[in-house]
Amino acid sequence: MKHILVPIGTSPDIHETLQYAVDFAVDFQSKIFVMEVFNAPSARGSLANLPEKVAAQSKAHLQEVIGKVDSKGISIKIATYNGKVEEGVKVIDKELGIDLIIMAPRTNDIQDMYYLGPTSGSIIKRTNIPTLIVPRNTVYAPLKNILTAFKSGMLKRKRILNPLIKIQNKYKAKISLLLVKTPGYTDADLKINTALMDISSQVNMTDNATTYLGVLEHFRAQKPDLLCVFRRKRGFFMTLLEKSTILKSEFHVSIPVLVLSVKKD
């Protein structure tokens, strides 16, 4: 994981997410790129240089956020984009090759009904990059106990698991698999990919209406440091993200969530 992208929003505590990313990057010797997107349409006359002015303000904001963290010698570079966030992520990925996105969910506020809002949701839904969702105020610590939950054990490509395997190798983590049999499952769904089996120490199966309910059933007993789920064309996260948002009533955990994509864009 050489290149990590951290989308920066307007939250006053977004520097905490960046600090987590820096601490994570230290272990993996990664470079960090902080990104902020803006929408400044080109205009004539006195507003002709509006995009340049907004870009300058965006860079100043990013520099302010960077100034609040201990970089610990990690390279942190700035990237801005004029347009939609998912388009910006794809452009930066094409130019630099992004191995992992680290971002915060919408908020930790219990009054807020959303786990992922339109911006964070669109990154998960419309990009194909592994993403680590880190709850705000989370202090970095080695990820030693990982719960990987899915409703189909089929994986077409082993490399999908690369971020998970790198995390496992770095922290000598224990990976437990949870196959959630949801309504309409097929016999093929119950066949777990050998690459998944090879990295796991335990396999459990459960019957539930959704993958999330299956996770809740096993969450307290296993006490994971990290939850890993898969983004499929018609999988758990993609079904929830039909409107680019996820309600906390549909999904919400208090630990980091690693989202791996099994869909090729």
Asked whether the domain spanning 145-261 has the same topology as the one spanning 3-103, the reply is: yes
Per-residue pLDDT of 179-204, as tens digits, reads: 999 888 889 889 999 999 999 999 99
The larger pLDDT score, comparing residue 136 to residue 119, is at 136
Ranges assigned E (strand) in 44-119: 76-82, 100-103, 114-116
Spatial separation of the C-alpha atoms in residues 8 and 11, rounded to whole Å: 8
114 DSSP β-pair partners: 247
Please name the amino acid found at residue 123. I
Place of tokens 């019957």: 207
Question: 155 pLDDT exceeds 70?
Answer: yes
Spatial separation of the C-alpha atoms in residues 70 and 19, rounded to whole Å: 7
Q: What is the mean pLDDT of residues 147-176?
A: 92
Per-residue pLDDT of 16-53, as tens digits, reads: 999 999 999 999 999 999 988 766 555 544 444 556 77
| Paired tokens of 213 | 């309910």
Per-residue pLDDT of 213-264, as tens digits, reads: 888 888 888 899 999 998 876 666 666 666 667 777 777 788 999 999 875 5
- In the chain, where the domains are located: 3-103, 145-261
Per-state percent for the chain, helix, strand, coil, to nearest 5: 40, 25, 40
Are 138 and 167 in contact, with CB atoms under 8 Å apart? no
Q: Which fold has domain 145-261?
A: Rossmann fold (3.40.50)
Task: Report pLDDT for 156.
Answer: 79
Task: Report pLDDT for 106.
Answer: 64
Architecture category of domain 3-103 in CATH: 3-Layer(aba) Sandwich (3.40)
DSSP string, 160-226: GGHHHHHHHHHHT-EEEEEEEE-TT--GGGGS--HHHHHH-SEEEEEE-SSHHHHHHHHHHHH--SE
For residue 112, give Cα distances in angstroms to 5, 59, 138: 26, 29, 18
Most confident of 67-71, 134-138, 229-233: 67-71
Residues 6+ apart with CB under 8 A from 224: 145, 146, 147, 176, 255
| pTM exceeds cut of 0.95 | no
- Which 3 state secondary structure label does DSSP give 25? helix
Task: Report pLDDT for 119.
Answer: 74
